[in-house]
């Protein structure tokens, strides 16, 4: 069994016309558009797959560690229904024993598969099961063991190694995300390996730009050690960032990424920035100082982007590690990040006053606050040359989330102030599924515009291709 080019996957659990309009006129147009983009290469400019997979190219261990334990979309839903994360084999930081039998994890997952009804996770999983493993039946308790065997057997074949899957998925380029202090050894190993798959890194400096990040002061000291700069001074600290950005660019980075509680930015004088830097790195900064520093660093990063060309991604508005118990036991990124209300218009003004009219700067904005689409984000991106809108993020990377984005943002921002699609995933087998869902929803939307004569069909073909491929490549300079 060899993985097929995945967009064509059809089975009872992944029917060929899924997500295309029900109206026959619109469906026929959507079908033509979709057929023109289904097999385009995947450009994945933002995500969280592990570069080690591609560097080592070892077989994935078992079905549970491929589909369940790394995917916080999966275990947050199960957790919400009272399934203990320990029973799902999520590694605990505090030494609590957790389930180590992947078959037991899989059975528990299968017994609870109905919980994913109506969610994008269900679409992604069914697509992967059908396309990669030829499954034709919904996962359930009765077939759990047989499905496990089938997937487990396949994972031992050469065709299911990370690099072979990467190629079968049609990935042209994928970006991973590494912290500013990362040594990028897996990227170095990849670069030396001679494999032609293109895997690039992304500069994610939150651990050294956010005074509320665990270990911030030690992290800043470490930044000094690895760059040979004196990060006890503001100028040395900024120089250290420049050096790390250059190092990341050597491993293909075309973007930085910033995950912050708000979109606040600041543009302080050098003297005020120095004072603030001293306050956050030597004392115990108050909440206002910490927030102001994060905001100042966004503007500093934008200035550095003008020099080195990195695209600046801003992912604000997540209340990270909301569940204190889960954070204490399991750590960060465990599905307990909850969206908060986010202001952009006032928050971004200092940064936009500094660099917003620079046509050579590319700032990609994301939101977890959908009320900002039409009120703030689309008007901003439809005006400032430096701004583009990222695709619906996280909870909104879903069929209805994408439709809401299109309904609320496109008329004001236009398609060409958006950045195409990001899969933003840690779950490797879901990558083709996520891109396929986005392509189907895009084609369904374009077909409606053609059917009611807002767009000519030849324009819709151009846009379908741009949305699936060209916009992401251009916005991220890949």
Binding site for Zn ion (CB under 5 A): 424
Beta carbon of residue 47, minimum distance to Zn ion (angstroms, whole number): 7
Beta carbon of residue 148, minimum distance to Zn ion (angstroms, whole number): 29
> Rounded to the nearest 5°, which phi and psi values hold at 69?
-70, -30
Count of other CB atoms within 10 angstroms of residue 357: 12
Closer by beta carbon to Zn ion, 402 or else 464: 402
Closer by beta carbon to Zn ion, 424 or else 442: 424
Beta carbon of residue 48, minimum distance to Zn ion (angstroms, whole number): 6
CB 251 within 8 A of CB 244: no
Beta carbon of residue 179, minimum distance to Zn ion (angstroms, whole number): 13
Residue 243 structure tokens: 């050096």
Closer by beta carbon to Zn ion, 3 or else 316: 316
135: Cβ contacts below 8 Å, ≥ 6 apart: 11, 13, 129, 147, 150
Residue positions counted in the chain: 478
Q: What is the DSSP string of 200-228?
A: E--EE-HHHH-TTSTTHHHHHHHHHHHHT
Closer by beta carbon to Zn ion, 116 or else 393: 393
Angle at 178 between CA 397 and CA 270, to 5 degrees: 100
CB 296 within 8 A of CB 276: yes
Beta carbon of residue 206, minimum distance to Zn ion (angstroms, whole number): 11
For residues 211 and 33, what is the distance between their CA atoms, to the nearest angstrom? 48
Closer by beta carbon to Zn ion, 424 or else 448: 424
Closer by beta carbon to Zn ion, 63 or else 391: 391
Beta carbon of residue 201, minimum distance to Zn ion (angstroms, whole number): 13
Beta carbon of residue 2, minimum distance to Zn ion (angstroms, whole number): 31
Closer by beta carbon to Zn ion, 206 or else 229: 206
For residues 426 and 95, what is the distance between their CA atoms, to the nearest angstrom? 24
Residue 466 structure tokens: 């741009």
Q: Among 125, 126, 129, 122, which residue's Cα sits nearest to residue 154?
A: 129
Place of tokens 């930015």: 265
Q: In what order do the strands lie in the sheet with 255-260?
A: 178-179, 203-204, 255-260, 311-316, 363-365, 387-389
Closer by beta carbon to Zn ion, 178 or else 424: 424
Beta carbon of residue 46, minimum distance to Zn ion (angstroms, whole number): 6
Place of tokens 């996962």: 139
Q: Which residue is nearest to Zn ion (CB)?
A: 424
């Amino acid at each position: 069994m060899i993985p097929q080019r995945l967009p064509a996957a059809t089975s009872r659990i992944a029917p060929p016309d899924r997500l295309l309009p029900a109206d026959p006129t619109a469906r026929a147009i959507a079908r033509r558009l979709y057929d023109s983009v289904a097999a385009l290469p995947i450009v994945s400019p933002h995500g969280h797959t592990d570069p080690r997979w591609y560097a080592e190219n070892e077989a994935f261990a078992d079905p549970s560690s491929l589909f369940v334990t790394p995917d916080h979309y999966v275990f947050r839903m199960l957790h919400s229904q009272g399934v203990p994360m320990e029973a799902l084999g999520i590694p605990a930081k505090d030494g609590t024993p957790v389930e180590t039998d992947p078959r037991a994890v899989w059975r528990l997952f299968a017994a609870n598969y109905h919980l994913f009804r109506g969610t994008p996770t269900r679409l992604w999983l069914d697509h992967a099961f059908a396309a990669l493993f030829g499954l034709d039946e919904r996962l359930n308790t009765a077939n759990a063991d047989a499905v496990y065997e089938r997937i487990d057997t396949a994972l031992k074949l050469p065709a299911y190694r990370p690099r072979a899957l990467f190629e079968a998925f049609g990935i042209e380029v994928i970006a991973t995300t590494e912290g500013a202090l990362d040594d990028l050894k897996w990227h170095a190993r990849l670069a030396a390996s001679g494999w032609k798959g293109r895997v690039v890194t992304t500069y994610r400096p939150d651990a050294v730009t956010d005074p509320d990040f665990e270990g911030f002061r030690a992290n800043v000291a470490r930044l000094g050690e690895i760059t040979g700069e004196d990060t006890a001074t503001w100028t040395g600290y900024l120089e250290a960032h420049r050096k790390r950005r250059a190092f990341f660019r050597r491993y293909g980075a075309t973007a930085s990424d910033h995950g912050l509680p708000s979109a606040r930015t600041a543009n302080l004088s050098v003297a005020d920035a120095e004072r603030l830097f001293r306050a956050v790195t030597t004392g115990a900064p108050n909440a206002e100082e910490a927030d102001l520093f994060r905001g100042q660093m966004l503007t500093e990063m934008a200035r550095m982007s003008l020099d080195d060309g990195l695209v600046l991604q801003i992912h604000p508005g997540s209340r990270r590690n909301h569940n204190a118990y889960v954070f204490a036991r399991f750590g960060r990124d465990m599905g307990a990040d909850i969206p908060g209300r986010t202001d952009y218009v006032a928050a971004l003004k200092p940064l936009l006053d500094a660099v917003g009219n620079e046509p050579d700067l590319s700032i990609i904005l994301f939101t977890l606050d959908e009320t900002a689409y039409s009120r703030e984000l689309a008007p901003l991106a439809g005006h400032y040359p430096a701004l583009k809108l990222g695709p619906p993020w996280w909870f909104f990377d879903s069929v209805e989330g994408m439709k809401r984005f299109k309904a609320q943002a496109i008329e004001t921002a236009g398609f060409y102030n958006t950045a195409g699609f990001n899969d933003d995933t840690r779950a490797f087998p879901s990558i083709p599924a996520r891109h396929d869902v986005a392509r189907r929803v895009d084609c369904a939307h374009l077909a409606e515009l053609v059917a009611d004569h807002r767009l000519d069909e030849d324009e819709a073909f151009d846009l379908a291709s741009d949305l699936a491929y060209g916009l992401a490549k251009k916005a991220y300079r890949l």
